[in-house]
Amino acid sequence: MTNPLLADWTTPFALPPFADVTDDDFAPAFEAAMDEARANIAKIAENPEPPTFANTIEALEQADAALNRVLGVFFNIAGADSTPKREELQRDFSPKLAAYGSEITNNKPLFERVETLWNARDTLDLTPEQQRVLMLTRRGFIRSGADLEGYAADRLTEVKNRLAVLSTQFTQNLLADERSWYMELTEDELEGLPDFLIAAARAAGSEKGLQAPVITTSRSLIVPFLQFSPRRDLRERAYQAWTARGAGGGPTDNRAIAAEVLALREERAFLLGYDSFADYKLETEMAKTPKAVRDLLMQVWEPALAAAEADSTRLSAMMHGDGVNGELEPWDWRYYSEKRRKEEHDLDEAELKPYLQLDRMIDAAFAVASRLFNLDFKALDATLYHPDARAWEVTRDGAHLAVFIGDYFARGSKRSGAWCSAMRSQQKLAGDIRPIVVNVCNFAKPEAGKPALLSYDDARTLFHEFGHALHQMLSDVTYESISGTSVARDFVELPSQLYEHWLEVPEVLAEFATHAETGKPMPKALLDRLLAAQTYDSGFDTVEFLASALVDLAFHEEEAPADPMRKQAEVLEGLGMPHAIGMRHATPHFAHVFAGDGYSSGYYSYMWSEVMDADAFEAFKEAGSAFDADTATKLERFILSAGGSEEAEDLYTAFRGKMPGPEALLKGRGLSQG
């Protein structure tokens, strides 16, 4: 019987045949696809014909097509719906993939063909896109050690293989801690909690097979619990568990893994001739240097710290007014901040949340994309990898553009956070290949028959991830290696963070923020109060983010610490970190940085992109409308459809005329001194 992962997919839009795929299919499909990829690589390297762009670079682009197809399905499912078998497969696949990557970059005849083309590039009559792909291919070889010989080459392969093992272990340890911890609540302990949170806690308990409501470490549960529970002891217990993920001792403790990862990254950089891992990593980003990153972050740190310290004084006074002595603690901040928001802005999460229904916010995200980019979304009746996942066909003027999959609810088998990925990326080299794009979130699942309600932060997350999805869906390039979100890490967050701005457009909320029970639109007075409070608590939000970004930078710019937790404490002390604010992501659960190289030395990227997204939305304001057609056309042409076909700075400058400074960011966060 043919393995369904390797057969032709005759499903609508060539979706993976999820109904036919079992966990037992992944390993043989992986091995067969890996063998095919190796054979294709050998054929390219051993080709007796002189190298051409077609027989070398384009052949490399297509060499592992079957492997990418198998892994596109596997890694999406493994992250969103893990099982013990899938975790075992991840541990098996990761070092094999690292070894396969090293085989390619260590293949001297193959690299010689690439180098020959590079040296003759001015005579090859290449298109600008082909020139870009050639440059990126050669750079990838060199940065992966293709120039190394002997011990250095062998050692780099060992380092990369070990890092692959450690990143998988880090991720699985974190998921195990998140899955195992929960706090049951008695009826008395529900006192003071809004109905939406009680319903979500009951649904979470049911998901775990319990009769009682529970609080888990899912952000969509634990944050509102910290906002609303009057029980300080329970808030402390929940907060401590949330921040202790990956640091509880025993087999799931990530602290030693973090230390080994940092040491190996430093060694990798040294082997490649760099002064630090940050120097290596940032060379290909917009920032270019650790100094440029630190300069931006510190420009924002000072006003953010001042705002946070002023807020801390206010919240401490409120706490002492309640008869609670001592210092304001991290598990107190959200509780008193929520009270203060109610006092100052007459804004109550419990009043707001019924107007932010998940289905209506999905409709809002689609409607904005329709107005900006003339897209249409039609629900598909398709079998997917989990009953909670949903799919839509995306079209423009009747032509198929993409399949979009949304998987929105938290569950024990899903890793924390929110992300966008592609099961299949756009390209034209092998035909007009249209993408399958996935948004995964962790919103609280409602009780059966009840609508899912979002916080405003949840709604912003939904828009954020959909901005990434648009970057994938509107991609219009020839080569998969530069498709969609295959751009500099500190540019990739621009489309996502820019898209968040449309959630703040009054006419969007006026149309789609409708009450879950009455169906009536959000009252204008409430809408006005919501929009007026957009920068409320920005000192807290900015400080907790910057603390994580600056610790990440210190880990990779300076000597690798033997004790990352001690180094983390030293960095925070040097910054003057407020006692009552924790890092957004402490080291043992800092998956952005330790679950792979993606955001290592790059967590700052969100803020680097925010400088651009604040400025980019100004382009629409200057044009007189958030839906200005000409500006939207330029945005698609120079940003969303271009992928990595040009340098990020050149793409942004083509859209906006010049690169911005941090002024718009500070203004947008309410931290501007002017």
Crossing angle between the packed helical segments 538-557 and 290-321, to the nearest 10 degrees = 140
Q: Alpha-carbon torsion 555, 559, 561, 565, what sign?
A: negative
pTM above 0.85, yes or no: yes
Residue range 175-191, pLDDT digits in tens: 999 999 999 999 999 99
How many CB atoms are located within 10 Å of the residue 43 CB?
12
Determine which helix (DSSP H) or strand (DSSP E) holds 341, and give its type and residue range: helix 330-345
pLDDT for residue 349: 85
Residue range 543-566, pLDDT digits in tens: 999 999 999 999 999 999 999 999
Q: Give the C-alpha separation, 221 to 201, whole Å.
A: 7
Collapsing DSSP to helix, strand or coil, 182 comes out as: strand
Position of tokens 């009747």?
398
Q: Give the C-alpha separation, 321 to 307, whole Å.
A: 21
Determine which helix (DSSP H) or strand (DSSP E) holds 402, and give its type and residue range: strand 399-409
Average pLDDT of the segment spanning 139-158: 96
Average pLDDT of the segment spanning 108-116: 98
Domains 12-105+107-144 and 251-347+537-603 share a fold: no
Residue range 235-246, pLDDT digits in tens: 999 999 999 999
Residue 665, φ and ψ in degrees, nearest 5: -60, -50
> Looking at residue 474, what DSSP letter applies?
T
Q: Give the C-alpha separation, 600 to 674, whole Å.
A: 34
CA dihedral 445, 448, 451, 454 (to 10 degrees): -10
Q: Alpha-carbon torsion 518, 520, 521, 522, what sign?
A: negative
pLDDT for residue 447: 87
How many CB atoms are located within 10 Å of the residue 553 CB?
21
Average pLDDT of the segment spanning 407-411: 96
Statement: residue 38 has pLDDT above 90 = yes
Q: Give the C-alpha separation, 448 to 451, whole Å.
A: 8
- Token pair, residue 241, equals 């568990």
The half-sphere exposure of 407 on its side-chain side, counting CA atoms within 13 A, is: 26
At 65, the pLDDT band (50, 70, 90 cuts) reads very high
For residue 608, which of 557, 524, 556, 549 has the smallest C-alpha distance?
549
Q: Give the C-alpha separation, 173 to 179, whole Å.
A: 10
How many CB atoms are located within 10 Å of the residue 496 CB?
23
Statement: residue 44 has pLDDT above 60 = yes
At 674, the pLDDT band (50, 70, 90 cuts) reads low
Statement: residue 291 has pLDDT above 70 = yes
222 bridge partner residues: none
pLDDT for residue 672: 81
Residue 624, φ and ψ in degrees, nearest 5: 95, 0
pLDDT for residue 664: 86
* Cα Dmax for the chain: 83
The DSSP line for 217-276 is S-HHHHHHHHHH---HHHHHHHHHHHHTTT-SSGGG--HHHHHHHHHHHHHHHHHTT-SS
Residue range 299-316, pLDDT digits in tens: 999 999 999 999 999 999
379 bridge partner residues: 392
> Are the C-beta atoms of 13 and 40 separated by less than 8 Å?
no
390 bridge partner residues: 406
How many CB atoms are located within 10 Å of the residue 637 CB?
15
CA 602 to chain centre: 12
Statement: residue 536 has pLDDT above 70 = yes
Distances in whole angstroms, Cα of residue 158 to Cα of each of 35, 155, 204, 210, 517: 21, 5, 42, 45, 59
pLDDT for residue 215: 97
> Are the C-beta atoms of 164 and 98 separated by less than 8 Å?
yes
For the chain, give the percent of residues with pLDDT over 70. Answer: 100
Collapsing DSSP to helix, strand or coil, 183 comes out as: strand
Average pLDDT of the segment spanning 119-134: 98
For residue 465, indicate whether it is catalytic: yes
Q: Give the C-alpha separation, 634 to 642, whole Å.
A: 11
Q: Give the C-alpha separation, 157 to 151, whole Å.
A: 10
CATH architecture of 12-105+107-144: Up-down Bundle (1.20)
> Are the C-beta atoms of 548 and 605 separated by less than 8 Å?
no
Let me know if 288 is exposed, middle or buried by CB neighbors in 10 A (0-12, 13-18, 19+): middle
Average pLDDT of the segment spanning 426-443: 97
Q: Alpha-carbon torsion 10, 16, 22, 25, what sign?
A: positive
**What's the fold here for domain 251-347+537-603?**
Neurolysin; domain 3 (1.10.1370)
For residue 65, which of 89, 98, 41 has the smallest C-alpha distance?
41
At 227, the pLDDT band (50, 70, 90 cuts) reads very high
Domains of the chain: which residue ranges?
Answer: 12-105+107-144, 181-245, 251-347+537-603
Average pLDDT of the segment spanning 132-145: 97
Q: Give the CA angle between residues 63, 485, 585 to the nearest 5°.
A: 115
| Strands 399-409 and 436-443, bridge-based pairing | parallel
Q: Give the C-alpha separation, 126 to 58, whole Å.
A: 12
- Token pair, residue 534, equals 């957009």
**Which residues touch 605 (CB under 8 Å, ≥6 apart)?**
285, 489, 490, 492, 493, 599
308-318 burial string, b = 16+ CB within 10 Å, else e?
beebbeebbeb
Collapsing DSSP to helix, strand or coil, 35 comes out as: helix
Residue 469, φ and ψ in degrees, nearest 5: -60, -40
> Looking at residue 647, what DSSP letter applies?
-
For the chain, give the percent of residues with pLDDT over 90. Answer: 96
CA dihedral 494, 634, 625, 351 (to 10 degrees): -30
Between 668 and 624, whose confidence is greater?
624
Q: Give the CA angle between residues 538, 539, 543 to the nearest 5°.
A: 115
Residue 405, φ and ψ in degrees, nearest 5: -115, 130
> Are the C-beta atoms of 226 and 457 separated by less than 8 Å?
no
pLDDT for residue 673: 64
Average pLDDT of the segment spanning 431-452: 95
At 254, the pLDDT band (50, 70, 90 cuts) reads very high
Q: Check 58, 178, 266, 465 and give the catalytic one.
A: 465
Q: Give the C-alpha separation, 165 to 20, whole Å.
A: 29
Distances in whole angstroms, Cα of residue 38 to Cα of each of 45, 375, 637: 11, 40, 36
pLDDT for residue 293: 97
pLDDT for residue 506: 94
- Token pair, residue 124, equals 């090859």
